[in-house]
Amino acid sequence: MFMLPKIAKTVASASKRFGGVSAFTQVARSFSQITYGPSQAFVRQPAPLFKAPAVVDNDITTVNLEDYRGKYVVLFFYPKDFTFVCPTEIIAFSDRAQEFEKLNTKLLACSCDTVESHLAWIKTPRKKGGLGNMQIPIIGDNTKEIASKYGVLVNDLGVALRGLFIINPQGVIEQITMNNLPVGRSVDEVLRLVQAFQFVEQHGEVCPANWKPGEKTINTKDSSEYFGSGATESAVDEKLMGKDVIEIQDEKQFKELVATKKNLVVDFYAPWCGKCKMISPFYNKLAGERKDVTFASVDTTADKLEKFAADYGVDHIPSFHFFKDGKEAGPVITGYKKQMIAKQVEALFK
């Protein structure tokens, strides 16, 4: 290849710095800039169509996105052949291709390398950083047109970000994720997302956070059944109060405790309340140490206690009420005020 001496010298210098063919690409870019269009890939919009060379079953052929109509497609981009994170992702997806196949889902990998580079990488043993036998097509987008259409192209590097697109059987994009170059993706999460989108399509119900097949979903016409089942309750919330604190179940139990005329402290709280969670270790510790005082709690969100708490005048939480001889004694203390609570407990004995 003929080059002007000055250009040849520049390329040679860059080759030392960047190494090989990629170095020439870096230098050539300074002489001519290619302008790519904006992304055409958006959730709920048709996936940009393409027809491109690909390696399929160790042969170079052509892949046409339209040929996959009627199936789910997971199209994932990766930056570069013969690198480090990329083979771990591609192998992970390829090794589980049959699981996606059972869900009527095809996997397509794509980078801005040539198909010849893909083929050489596939023929390289895995122990030497190669891909080995592949169960999925790997598309060669050396013109970078596909990466540009899908909005994953890093122009100054000429490589694709780790973009992933779930496309439904109608050719519409259901989901997009985008990782920066150094971090790979989770095959389990992609599989879960495909299952979730298919469940919604088949049953019309929607899938909450972290949903997996067999778990509860939400009927949009009556979500009360889902939320009423306690599906959103946290195990941490349920254990907010310690074993030395009496958890009042209803108004009757509250009145019975007050009627004992013992020294009593009642914490009105809510499981979602940040300050309630902050003060609970102190309250539990106090209850364990002071056996001469009864410590109790009222969950203001509980069905049998919500109205009672409101009628009792509780308008701030946490709200600590102190009782002596069957009557309220001293001021109500609200918020995260450990010293004031401890002092008021001592005041019950004066």
> Active-site residues: which are they?
86
Spatial distance between the Cα atoms of 109 and 94, rounded to a whole number of angstroms: 9
- Residues in Cβ contact with 136 at an 8 Å cutoff, skipping those fewer than 6 apart: 90, 93, 94, 97, 106, 107, 108, 109
φ, ψ of residue 89 to 5 degrees: the values are -70, -50
Give the single-character DSSP code of 156. Answer: T
Spatial distance between the Cα atoms of 180 and 50, rounded to a whole number of angstroms: 24
**Residue 215, SS3?**
coil
Strands 319-324, 51-56: parallel, antiparallel or unpaired by DSSP?
Answer: unpaired
**Residue 105, SS3?**
strand
Nearest to 72 by CA among 42, 97, 52: 97
Query: What is the CB neighbour count within 10 angstroms for residue 181?
Result: 16
Half-sphere exposure of 313 (CA within 13 A, CB side): 4
